[in-house]
Structure 1
């Protein structure tokens, strides 16, 4: 897909991977609808987008609120004279810790933003994406959606869920002019990770948001179905989890206590 001069809705655009995607897309003169909960970060990204040759329209929205997905799509179409080429479902949140220690509200918040919101936003955007004849949905999942980690039970469920949603939708839309790409970042240096103390000793190999964004755009350009990040250790874990999950259980059990301490405060809610 040629990303030049495309109308693109990008959620979670105020920081992290979303911001990096916006700035790299700006260099392709994209018409970006930047979506997030807070106005100031979105306006700052919009200014940077303009400085790099793109156009940006800011929409503040809580995507978990009824009616928000339809409002976002309508705002994007109005801002750039109709039409929508790409939807990037990037917004997400996390709350790590033992399942029984999480508040019910913390469980529901992750399900609502990480899973329900992208499904409903995609549903609202599909008519416009299909009308252009070359639409694209990008779902930003997580490496934890491929290899589930202890103390991330709810997060893993939502990220695996949005990935399977993407796979099912891709097959549902075959031959209808809309493609679906799933992206699985590993640990990424973003504000979402600021409250985590997990490092390489816990199996977390960090890369920059800019590298994840570049890999995502490369995957869009070459027609990939999946973009998997996280380094060799993640690739090895994916294979082990598929071929001998009990062996991976033993590996994770050996560092379980240290991991629990490292992620006990990890929350972006």
Structure 2
């Protein structure tokens, strides 16, 4: 897909991977519309991008709500005159033992990470079809490919989003709308700021700019998926497929330290 001139809506676009993607897309000539829950963060992101492009706008909206999704889509289409690419990037996470996670936290993860992208995509499809050549980009997580302990609900929601994208890609095949699924590994973003898991247990963070560049390259190539994490992540994915019990044992060996490191991880 030719990115120059494309009208792109990025949810969760005021920070992290979403904002990093916006910078890469702006450099390639896209028109951008960003949304996020915090008005001050959205204003700051739009101002930051405004130094490199005049084709950027945004609004504060919570895509986890019906009103927020309606505001997001209507504002984006009004500002850009249509929509070519929807990037479902907004996310929420709460790590820890399942029995220690509050019901409202579980529901928030499912609503933001799974229900919101499905419903926003459904609402956006007429606009994406309008000019032909539309695309949906679902930013899931490498945890959808290798589920990790203490992230049970988050893993379920992200794996659900990945399967949604796979099914929708096949549903829309030949109809002018493509679906790309991105699987970032641990990424250095504000969403990870409360996690204390570190290299001592094999947990590392990739720069958001590198992840964003790879996803945008995937958009340009009409890729089906973009998987981050390098050879180690690929090896882990292979092991999880071929000998999942071996991976269970690997997690068992680091489980106490891993639980201690991630139990503070909360970004809702």
Question: Which range, TM-score by smaller chain?
Answer: over 0.9
**What is the TM-score normalised by the length of structure 2?**
0.97
| Structure 1: 4+ residue segments shifted above 4 A | none
**Structure 1 residues 255 and 65, CA, compared in 2 at 3 Å: closer, same or farther?**
same
Contact 1:198–1:259 (8 Å) recurs in 2: yes
Query: How high is the TM-score relative to the length of structure 1?
Result: 0.97
Contact 1:26–1:50 at 8 Å: present in 2 too? no
In structure 2, distance between residues paired with 1:202 and 1:106: 26
Partner of 2:23: 23
Q: What are the within-5 Å matches in structure 2 for residues 252-263 of structure 1?
A: 252-263=251-262
| Partners of 1:258 and 1:110 in 2: CA distance | 24
Contact 2:62 2:69 in 1 (8 A): no
Q: In structure 2, what is the equivalent of residue 248 of structure 1?
A: 247
RMSD: 1.0
8 Å Cα contact 2:9-2:85 kept in structure 1: yes
- Partner residue, 2:92: 93
CA contact (8 A) 1:22 1:32 kept: yes
Q: What is the alpha-carbon distance in structure 2 between the residues aligned to residue 203 and residue 195 of structure 1?
A: 17
Look up the match of 1:14: 14
CA contact (8 A) 2:58 2:76 kept: no
Unaligned runs of 5+ in 2: none
| SS of the residue 1:52 aligns to | coil
2:49 is matched with: 49
Residues 23 and 48 in structure 1, CA contact (< 8 A), matched pair in contact too: no
CA deviation after TM superposition for structure 1 residue 201, in Å: 2.8
8 Å contact 1:22–1:45 — kept in the other structure?
no
Aligned residue for 2:178?
A: 179
Report how many aligned residue pairs link the two structures: 268
Deviation at 1:70, TM superposition (A): 2.8
Distance across 2 between alignment mates of 1:77 and 1:265: 38
Give the corresponding residue for 1:206: 205
1:66 and 1:224 map into 2 onto residues whose CA distance is 30
Aligned mates of 1:150, 1:130 — CA distance in 2: 40
